[in-house]
Amino acid sequence: MIPVTGLVRTSTVDFPGFLAAVVFVPGCNFSCFYCHNRRLLEPGGEQIAPEELMGFLNRRRGLLEGIVITGGEPLLQPELPDFIRQLKSMGYKVKLDTNGSRPLMLQRLLSAGLLDQVAIDYKAPWDRYPRWSRSSAVDAAAVRSSLDVLLKSDICWEARTTVFPQLGRDDLFEMARAVPMLPAWFLQLYRKPDYYLETDLDLVETPGCTPQNLRDLAEALVPLQPNTKPRTFA
């Protein structure tokens, strides 16, 4: 059983097309300053007891249609395949949110038919990945490999980019040119996180773009990536 540190019992927006619960797992190999789940990176957080989680999911069978597994970075959890098998045995569809840094685990899950949808982060131009993920261990080539895995699959998936204030228009155009045509690329509105490192104060307080700016950016990128769309909800 994977550790679970958070649960949204009902969501209509996190798993497109399905009424879902959202399960949060701790730990991440990135440290993005704009992350809204930063507390999941801290060790020793309170976890939901496995029997409590599975009891809830058992009771909601027939009411909920899917489970979103997010984090943190779920692909860091070695027990993830077995956990998903439990969910599938209960009749749930499964969506995975990932930063894309573990292509081998992603391929393993896809090959086993354990995933129904995937959302992968596409955070920055490749050469700026270490800067904005704030991890010397980050290998942008691994994220590119995960994109390649998804492009070769027949699963429903999307890429998503949070347009944080320091990510400029030229950066987005560079990103659009750097990958093959994506089935869906969502530009997400930056919102200041409630919890952040004190050393990041100047970064998080820099104003982001407006919803209209985001819509204009998405429209401008369509000639390069025809499936670009703005996503302005929280």
In order of start, what are the domains of the chain with their CATH numbers? 6-165 (3.20.20.70)
Rounded Cα–Cα distance for residues 71 and 58 (Å): 22
Q: List the Cα angle 210/216/222 in 5-degree steps.
A: 140
Q: Could you give the CA distance from residue 207 to residue 188 in angstroms, rounded to a whole number?
A: 14
Sheet holding 93-98, edge to edge: 6-11, 20-24, 66-70, 93-98, 117-121, 156-163, 185-189, 228-231
pLDDT digits (tens, 9 = 90+) for 95-144: 999 999 999 999 999 999 999 999 999 999 999 999 999 877 778 999 99
pLDDT of 12-56, one tens digit each? 999 999 999 999 999 999 999 999 988 877 766 788 999 999 999
Residue showing tokens 């980019």:
161
Express each pLDDT in 65-81 by its tens digit.
999 999 999 999 999 99
| 8 A C-beta contact, residue 121 and residue 182 | no
